[in-house]
Chain A
């Protein structure tokens, strides 16, 4: 009897383990996707269905009116998307262009007390945004950059660059030193080694850094609120504007939000393919 139970246990064990993993993944997926589903649902329901108790989410109520209104009437959304795109793209590009060499230097070159330098760089992230908001506003105003995209790019760089350095340095430290030594014997100096060997094998973390920096810049609200008026207004501000003094048009707000997250989701999907392919090919094998 106990032998039979043992055999059953041995057969059921892996199955139970698989089932457990699937359930855990399922819970995580639902937990992650639920807000997104609610966002999309809210964008395709009329205001009355949405605020009804309980909300009337049946497909018979679904409508694209919110999208038609948002796209048709709000030129601000288009301008906001353009601003966000320019600010996020520049911030990401510059963060990578500066962050990757800095991370490599901190990982491999004989920078005195490089660990302390990295900690110091990361420590800049510990300050609450509100603590630096006023001094930052004064400095940006002095330079006459209020309500410019440049102001946002500079500010976003200041908090994206440390994270990009942190992500990439960790990866660079894990690259076998032998590769760089082989490059040195082959005749490559530091810059060519970095450019021709290190960067091409660092596509996965570079993609991760791109996604991170872009999303951070795309979504940022607080500094955009303080440092812009109208010209450089980014998407989060445009969306927030749907909450007016007398009325919050939830449906339109959600439709605008859905439109605004589309580029970010697209970027994440494209990068994910790169990241997965990079690891699948065993870029660092041997």
Chain B
């Protein structure tokens, strides 16, 4: 277990800057996810932590010690790779035990340890097989076994489930989380799947264009996104954004979106009073669960009804544009019917139109 710190880490390949001034402090035993779309620099950051690449600038510290010049082994990290990266010519047992063999550990001790790890991952019967003779899920378990076998200080996972089918992905996700809870080893996980990140992480670092946009708990990231980018990246269905004009009436503030006027409760938007002048424009984000259908309110027409099981996503056209409402269960709404919207104004997210930063936190 180790405390891992990235201080001002940047990495460029020629003129291409992949990571820009990444600062993260990961507590001992914490499960942190680097989340972002492909090309955002998350895997590069993971490789830098692993010692597979050298940062162009900045420091990486583990347990307070600068480890920039240390190899992956000296850092005592273990890694699970996206394509498993199992050695194709070695059996499951040889794959798992390879790292111990490199350390000159006696054969009997290696065998005992490999069997112990294999048993914990339900791989006991497969020790003599080659990777090509295993299913995707089994290969993934072997890759995890290879990381587990030497009790490292830090576990690194590089999109480990991206090649698995949906059902297996959910199962492996639960297994990894249980494993972390059992062993308590500091774990850094890379994924582009926001739901996966939310479900396994203690904290999430959302990355975009090589920068960390926000580093916080899943709840903070979801409910209080620091930027427009984080708000749109997290949440399904995706948050809807509208351009709104701020209107004032004494201490009261309201938003005008097209012809619709939405009153804002002053206690929820304390920052709005100082920050924004009458008539200035902001961007407003509304999540689907904060939109309800009501008897009175903003008029809208149902365009699309998508039941997804526990809820129904209803796409609505209104004068301000298009919005999605998430209704509980199988909602009884007809396509084309006229309805009214009730927006939960306590949960609107306001962003500066130029910088994309959140402007009025609650």
Quick check: A181 and B81 within 8 Å, CB to CB?
yes
In the complex, what residues of A have CB within 8 A of residue B128's CB? none
Q: Confirm or deny: B237 has a beta carbon within 8 angstroms of a beta carbon on chain A.
A: no
Kindly list chain A residues whose C-beta atoms are within 8 Å of the C-beta of B71. Answer: 184
* CB neighbours of B78 from chain A (8 A): 185
What residues of A have a CB within 8 angstroms of the CB of B84 in the complex?
178, 286
Contact at A201–B72, with CB atoms within 8 Å?
no
Whether A179 lies near B85 (C-beta < 8 A) is yes
User: Which one of A176, A181, A182, A285 lies within 8 Å of B132 (CB-CB)?
Assistant: A285
Excluding A201-B88, A282-B132, A286-B86, 19 further A-B contacts by CB distance (< 8 Å) are: A176-B83, A178-B81, A179-B85, A181-B81, A182-B86, A182-B146, A183-B87, A184-B51, A184-B72, A185-B77, A186-B99, A187-B73, A187-B103, A188-B102, A201-B87, A201-B89, A281-B132, A286-B84, A286-B131
Determine whether the beta carbon of B73 is less than 8 Å from that of A284: no
Question: Is B130's CB under 8 angstroms from A197's CB?
Answer: no
Indicate with 1 or 0, residue by residue over A150-169, a CB within 8 angstroms of chain B CB atoms: 00000000000000000000
B47 contacts across to A, CB distance below 8 A: 181
A61 to B305, CA, bound (A): 89
Q: What is the CA–CA distance of A181 and B72 in the complex, to the nearest angstrom?
A: 10
User: Which residues 233-286 of A have a CB within 8 angstroms of B?
Assistant: 281-286
Within 8 A of A (CB), among B221-235: none
Contact B77 A285 (CB under 8 A): no
Contact of B87 among A184, A192, A197, A281 (CB under 8 A): A197
Structural contact, B89 and A286, CB atoms closer than 8 A: no
Tell me which of B86, B89, B103 contacts A200 (CB under 8 A). B89
Chain A residues whose C-beta falls within 8 Å of the C-beta of B146 in the assembled complex: 182, 186
A219 to B127, CA, bound (A): 47
> How many whole Å from A155's CB to the nearest CB in chain B?
35
* Residue of A178, A192, A197, A286 with most chain B CB atoms under a 10 A cut-off: A286
Interface residue SS majority, chain A: helix
In the bound complex, how far is the Cα of B88 from the Cα of A200, in angstroms? 9
B contact residues vs A (CB 8 Å cutoff): 47, 50-52, 71-73, 77-79, 81-89, 98-99, 102-103, 130-132, 139, 146
CB <8 Å contact, B88 and A283: yes
Which B residues touch A196, using CB under 8 A? 98
A114 to chain B, nearest CB (A): 16
Q: Chain B residues near A200: list those with CB within 8 A.
A: 89
Q: How far is the CA of A185 from the CA of B131 in the complex (A)?
A: 19
Contact in complex: A192, B102 (CB < 8 Å) = yes
A200, B99: Cα distance in complex, Å: 17
Whether B88 contacts A185 by the Cβ 8 Å rule is no
- A285-B131 in contact (CB<8A): yes
User: Shortest distance in angstroms between A187's beta carbon and chain B's nearest beta carbon?
Assistant: 4
Count of chain A residues near B, Cβ 8 A: 22
Contact B83–A185 (Cβ < 8 Å) = no
| A56 → chain B closest CB, angstroms | 54
User: Cβ of A185: which chain B residues have Cβ within 8 Å of it?
Assistant: 50, 52, 72-73, 77-79, 99
A192 to B81, CA, bound (A): 20
The answer to whether A181 and B103 touch across the interface, beta carbons within 8 angstroms, is no
* Chain B neighbourhood of A285, CB < 8 A: 88, 131-132
Query: Beyond A184-B71, A185-B52, A185-B78, is A282–B83 a contact (Cβ under 8 Å)?
Result: no
Complex CA gap A176/B82 in Å reads: 11
Report A118 CB to chain B, min CB distance, Å: 20
- The smallest C-beta distance from A205 to any residue of chain B, in angstroms, reads 14
Q: What residues of B have a CB within 8 angstroms of the CB of A183 in the complex?
A: 87, 98
List 30 A–B pairs whose Cβ atoms lie within 8 Å, in order of A's numbering.
Answer: A179-B85, A181-B47, A181-B52, A182-B81, A182-B87, A182-B146, A183-B87, A183-B98, A184-B71, A185-B52, A185-B73, A185-B79, A186-B98, A186-B99, A186-B102, A187-B99, A192-B102, A197-B87, A201-B87, A201-B89, A281-B130, A283-B88, A283-B89, A284-B88, A285-B131, A285-B132, A286-B83, A286-B85, A286-B131, A286-B139
Cα distance, A89 to B252, chains bound together (Å): 92
Expressed in whole angstroms, the Cα–Cα distance for A178 and B52 within the complex equals 11
Among A184, A188, A281, A284, contact of B52 (Cβ-Cβ < 8 Å) = A184
Chain A residue with the shortest CB-CB distance to B131: A286
Contact string against B for A residues 184-211, beta-carbon threshold 8 Å, 1 for contact and 0 otherwise: 1111100010001100110000000000
Partner among B73, B82, B139 whose Cβ is within 8 Å of the Cβ of A178: B82
CA distance A192 to B71 in the complex (A): 15
Residues of A within 8 A of B87 (CB): 179, 182-183, 197, 201
A182 and B85 in contact (CB under 8 A), knowing A187-B102, A281-B132, A285-B131? yes
Most buried by A among B77, B88, B146: B88
Q: Which residues of B contact A282 (CB under 8 A)?
A: 88, 132
Contact between A286 and B132 (Cβ–Cβ < 8 Å)?
A: yes
CA distance A201 to B82 in the complex (A): 20
A182 contacts B88, CB within 8 Å?
A: no
Docked Cα-Cα span, A182 to B147, in Å, equals 10
Residue of B nearest to A175 (CB): B88
Q: Which residues of B contact A186 (CB under 8 A)?
A: 73, 98-99, 102, 146
